[in-house]
A and B are shown apart, each in its own frame.
Chain A
Amino acid sequence: MSGSERIPLSRREGGSKVLPELASILYQFGTNAAFLLLSALGLIVILGMMNIINLAHGEFMMLGAYVASFAVHRGIPFPLAVILAFFATGAFGIVLERLVIRRFYGRELGALVTTWGISLILAQGALLLFGPYMPPIPIPGGAVSEGVFSFSVYWLILIGISIVLVVALTLVYRATPFGLQARATMQNPSIARSLGIRTGRVYMLTFGLGAGLAGLSGALLAPATSIAPFMGQQFVAPAFITVVVGGGANVIAGAVGSSTFLSLIETPVSLTLGTFYGTMALLVMALLIIRVLPAGISSLGARLRPAVAR
Chain B
Amino acid sequence: MTDSENFPASPGEIEPAQPSAPCSGGPTRRGLIQGAAGIAAAGVVLARPNIVRAASETPVKVGFIEDESGNLSIYGIQKLHAARLAVQEINDGYTLAGGPVGSGCLGTMGLYSPTPPTLTSGPGAKLNIINDGGTPSEHAIVTADTEEILIPSGEKGLLGRPVDLVSSDGQSNNTLWQQLARRMIQQDKVDVLVAGFASAEREAIRPIVDQRKQLYFYTNQYEGGVADGYTFCTGAVCEQQVIPVMQYMVEKFGPKIFTIAANYNFGQLTAAWVRSFAPVLKAKVIGEEFPPLEVSEFSSVIAKVQAAKPDWVMTLLVGQNQSNYYPQAAAAGLHLPMASTVNMAQGYEHKRFTPPSLANMHNAVNYMQEIPTKRNQDFVARFYKMFPNDPYLGQMAQNTYFTIHLYAKAVRLIGTTDQEKVRRTLEAGWAIEAPEGTVFLEPATHHASHYIRLAATDEKQQISFVREWPMIEAWWLQRLGVNLVRHPEHKQYTPQEDPFFKMFG
A interface list, Cβ under 8 A from B: 24, 27-28, 31-32, 35, 123-124, 127, 131-133, 136-139, 141-145, 148-155, 223-226, 228-231, 233-234, 237, 267, 270-271, 274-276, 278-279
Q: A124-B69, A224-B331 are in contact. List 13 more A-B contacts (CB 8 A).
A: A28-B303, A136-B352, A136-B353, A141-B331, A143-B332, A223-B331, A224-B328, A225-B324, A230-B172, A234-B321, A270-B300, A274-B289, A279-B295
With A133-B391, A143-B332 as contacts: A278 and B300 at CB distance below 8 Å: yes
CB of B328 within 8 A of CB of A149, answer no
Q: In the complex, what residue of chain A is closest to B389 when comparing beta carbons?
A: A131
In the complex, chain A residues whose CB is within 8 Å of the CB of B354: 136-138
CB of A274 within 8 A of CB of B391, answer no
CB of B307 within 8 A of CB of A136, answer no
With A132-B391, A139-B331, A226-B352 as contacts: A271 and B71 at CB distance below 8 Å: no
Q: In the complex, what residue of chain A is closest to B308 when comparing beta carbons?
A: A148
CB of B295 within 8 A of CB of A143, answer no
Tell yes or no: B55 within 8 A of A by CB. Answer: no
With A139-B327, A278-B300 as contacts: A151 and B333 at CB distance below 8 Å: yes
CB of B294 within 8 A of CB of A237, answer yes
Q: Mark interface residues in B278-304 (1 if CB within 8 Å of A CB, else 0).
A: 000000000001111011111111011
In the complex, chain B residues whose CB is within 8 Å of the CB of A31: 297, 299
Q: Mark interface residues in B379-393 (1 if CB within 8 Å of A CB, else 0).
A: 000000000010100
Q: How far is the CA of A235 from the CA of B334 in the complex (A)?
A: 25
Tell yes or no: B25 within 8 A of A by CB. Answer: no
In the complex, chain A residues whose CB is within 8 Å of the CB of B74: 132-133, 228
Q: What are 9 residue pairs bridging A and B, where the CB atoms are less than 8 Å apart in the complex?
A: A24-B306, A32-B297, A133-B391, A151-B333, A226-B320, A230-B73, A231-B320, A275-B292, A278-B300
Q: In the complex, what residue of chain A is closest to B353 when comparing beta carbons?
A: A136
CB of A154 within 8 A of CB of B331, answer yes
CB of A230 within 8 A of CB of B70, answer yes
Q: In the complex, what residue of chain A is closest to B352 when comparing beta carbons?
A: A133
In the complex, chain A residues whose CB is within 8 Å of the CB of B331: 139, 141, 143, 152-155, 223-224
Tell yes or no: B330 within 8 A of A by CB. Answer: yes
Q: How far is the CA of A224 from the CA of B297 in the complex (A)?
A: 8
CB of A150 within 8 A of CB of B332, answer yes
In the complex, chain B residues whose CB is within 8 Å of the CB of A32: 297, 299-300
B238 shortest CB reach to chain A, Å:
22
Tell yes or no: B198 within 8 A of A by CB. Answer: no
CB of B333 within 8 A of CB of A142, answer yes
In the complex, chain A residues whose CB is within 8 Å of the CB of B309: 148
With A131-B391, A231-B320, A275-B295 as contacts: A152 and B332 at CB distance below 8 Å: yes
Tell yes or no: B77 within 8 A of A by CB. Answer: yes
CB of B333 within 8 A of CB of A150, answer yes
In the complex, chain A residues whose CB is within 8 Å of the CB of B301: 275
Q: Which listed residue, A27, A271, A276, touches B290 by the CB 8 Å rule?
A: A276
Q: How far is the CA of A148 from the CA of B416 in the complex (A)?
A: 65
CB of A145 within 8 A of CB of B291, answer no
Tell yes or no: B323 within 8 A of A by CB. Answer: yes
B355 shortest CB reach to chain A, Å:
9
B187 shortest CB reach to chain A, Å:
25
Tell yes or no: B263 within 8 A of A by CB. Answer: yes
A16 shortest CB reach to chain B, Å:
15
Q: How far is the CA of A133 from the CA of B71 in the complex (A)?
A: 11
In the complex, chain B residues whose CB is within 8 Å of the CB of A132: 73-74, 77, 391
Q: In the complex, what residue of chain B is closest to A140 when comparing beta carbons?
A: B331
CB of B300 within 8 A of CB of A234, answer no
Q: Mark interface residues in B200-220 (1 if CB within 8 Å of A CB, else 0).
A: 000000000000000000000
B500 shortest CB reach to chain A, Å:
27
Q: How far is the CA of A294 from the CA of B373 in the complex (A)?
A: 64
CB of A276 within 8 A of CB of B299, answer no
Q: How far is the CA of A151 from the CA of B304 in the complex (A)?
A: 13
Q: Which B residues, 210 to 266, have Cβ-Cβ distances below 8 Å to chain A?
A: 263
CB of A230 within 8 A of CB of B320, answer yes
In the complex, chain B residues whose CB is within 8 Å of the CB of A138: 354
6 tightest A-B CB contacts, nearest first = A143-B333, A150-B333, A152-B331, A270-B300, A139-B331, A275-B291
A239 shortest CB reach to chain B, Å:
12
A134 shortest CB reach to chain B, Å:
9
Q: Which listed residue, B296, B304, B332, B334, touches A225 by the CB 8 Å rule?
A: B296
Q: Which listed residue, A155, A231, A279, touches B299 by the CB 8 Å rule?
A: A155
Q: How far is the CA of A137 from the CA of B352 in the complex (A)?
A: 10
Q: How far is the CA of A152 from the CA of B91 in the complex (A)?
A: 54
CB of B307 within 8 A of CB of A234, answer no
Q: In the complex, what residue of chain A is closest to B290 when comparing beta carbons?
A: A276
In the complex, chain B residues whose CB is within 8 Å of the CB of A151: 332-333
Q: How far is the CA of A91 from the CA of B416 in the complex (A)?
A: 60
A102 shortest CB reach to chain B, Å:
29
Give the interface centre of A35, A132, A136, A233 by most chain B CB atoms within 10 Å: A132
Q: How far is the CA of A138 from the CA of B290 in the complex (A)?
A: 26
Q: Which B residues, 142 to 191, have Cβ-Cβ distances below 8 Å to chain A?
A: 172
In the complex, chain A residues whose CB is within 8 Å of the CB of B327: 136, 139, 223-226
Q: How far is the CA of A84 from the CA of B303 in the complex (A)?
A: 33
In the complex, chain A residues whose CB is within 8 Å of the CB of B333: 142-145, 150-152
Q: How far is the CA of A173 from the CA of B215 in the complex (A)?
A: 63
CB of B324 within 8 A of CB of A224, answer yes
CB of A230 within 8 A of CB of B71, answer yes
In the complex, chain B residues whose CB is within 8 Å of the CB of A225: 296, 324, 327
Q: In the complex, what residue of chain A is closest to B348 when comparing beta carbons?
A: A133
Q: In the complex, what residue of chain B is closest to A142 when comparing beta carbons?
A: B333
Q: In the complex, what residue of chain A is closest to B328 when comparing beta carbons?
A: A224
Q: How far is the CA of A233 from the CA of B290 in the complex (A)?
A: 20
Q: How far is the CA of A124 from the CA of B70 in the complex (A)?
A: 8
Q: How far is the CA of A144 from the CA of B331 in the complex (A)?
A: 10
B417 shortest CB reach to chain A, Å:
33
Q: How far is the CA of A32 from the CA of B303 in the complex (A)?
A: 13
In the complex, chain B residues whose CB is within 8 Å of the CB of A139: 327, 330-331
Q: Which B residues, 334 to 362, have Cβ-Cβ distances below 8 Å to chain A?
A: 334, 352-354, 357
In the complex, chain A residues whose CB is within 8 Å of the CB of B70: 230
A23 shortest CB reach to chain B, Å:
10
In the complex, chain A residues whose CB is within 8 Å of the CB of B172: 230
In the complex, chain B residues whose CB is within 8 Å of the CB of A274: 289-290
Q: How far is the CA of A88 from the CA of B162 in the complex (A)?
A: 49
CB of B352 within 8 A of CB of A148, answer no
In the complex, chain B residues whose CB is within 8 Å of the CB of A148: 306-307, 309
Q: How far is the CA of A21 from the CA of B323 in the complex (A)?
A: 26
CB of A155 within 8 A of CB of B332, answer yes
In the complex, chain A residues whose CB is within 8 Å of the CB of B77: 132
Q: How far is the CA of A195 from the CA of B294 in the complex (A)?
A: 47
A56 shortest CB reach to chain B, Å:
16
In the complex, chain A residues whose CB is within 8 Å of the CB of B320: 226, 228, 230-231, 233-234
B327 shortest CB reach to chain A, Å:
6
Q: How far is the CA of A138 from the CA of B309 in the complex (A)?
A: 26
Q: How far is the CA of A31 from the CA of B328 in the complex (A)?
A: 11
CB of A275 within 8 A of CB of B289, answer yes
With A132-B73, A225-B324 as contacts: A150 and B290 at CB distance below 8 Å: no
In the complex, chain B residues whose CB is within 8 Å of the CB of A137: 354
